[in-house]
C-alpha cells in the first residue's frame, strides 16, 4: 500500500507544489489512483512485492497532481507555432509498468 510518506518522498522537495498540498488532498489522490489501478490490473495485496506496480502507483499519483494544474488538459502554447498541445490521456510509463498485470477483457 502506498503511504503518504512514500508519495512525498517520490515527489521530492519541489513536488506537491513545494509541500503546499494538504495531507487530505494527497491521501485522496492515493485512494483514487489505488482504485483506478485495481480496476485495470491484478494487484497483489502487498504492492511491495511488485516494485513495478508500486512505481506505477507513485507515477499515477504524480500525473494526477500535475493534471490538476491543467483542468482542460492544455499545455502552454509554444512561441514558434502558436498552437496549444493537449496532455495525453494515459501516461506511457504507467502503461509500460502495469502491462504484465493488466486485466484482459474476455468476450
DSSP-derived secondary structure for 6-74? HHHHHH-TTHHHHHTS-HHHHHHHHHHHHHHHHHHB---S-GGG-HHHHHHHHHHHHHHHHHHT-TT-B
Q: Distance between CA 61 and CA 57 in Å, rounded?
A: 6
pLDDT tens digits for range 17-74: 656 788 899 999 999 999 999 999 988 877 668 899 999 999 999 888 888 877 776 6
Amino acid at each position: 500500500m502506498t503511504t503518504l510518506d512514500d508519495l512525498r518522498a517520490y515527489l521530492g522537495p519541489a513536488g506537491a507544489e513545494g509541500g503546499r498540498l494538504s495531507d487530505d488532498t494527497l491521501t485522496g489522490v492515493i485512494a483514487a489512483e489505488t482504485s483506478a489501478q485495481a480496476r485495470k490490473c491484478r494487484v497483489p495485496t502487498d504492492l511491495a512485492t511488485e516494485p513495478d506496480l508500486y512505481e506505477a502507483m507513485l507515477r499515477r499519483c504524480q500525473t494526477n497532481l500535475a493534471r490538476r494544474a491543467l483542468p482542460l488538459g492544455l499545455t502552454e502554447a509554444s512561441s514558434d507555432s502558436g498552437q496549444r498541445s493537449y496532455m495525453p490521456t494515459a501516461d506511457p510509463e504507467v502503461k509500460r509498468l502495469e502491462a504484465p498485470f493488466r486485466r484482459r477483457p474476455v468476450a
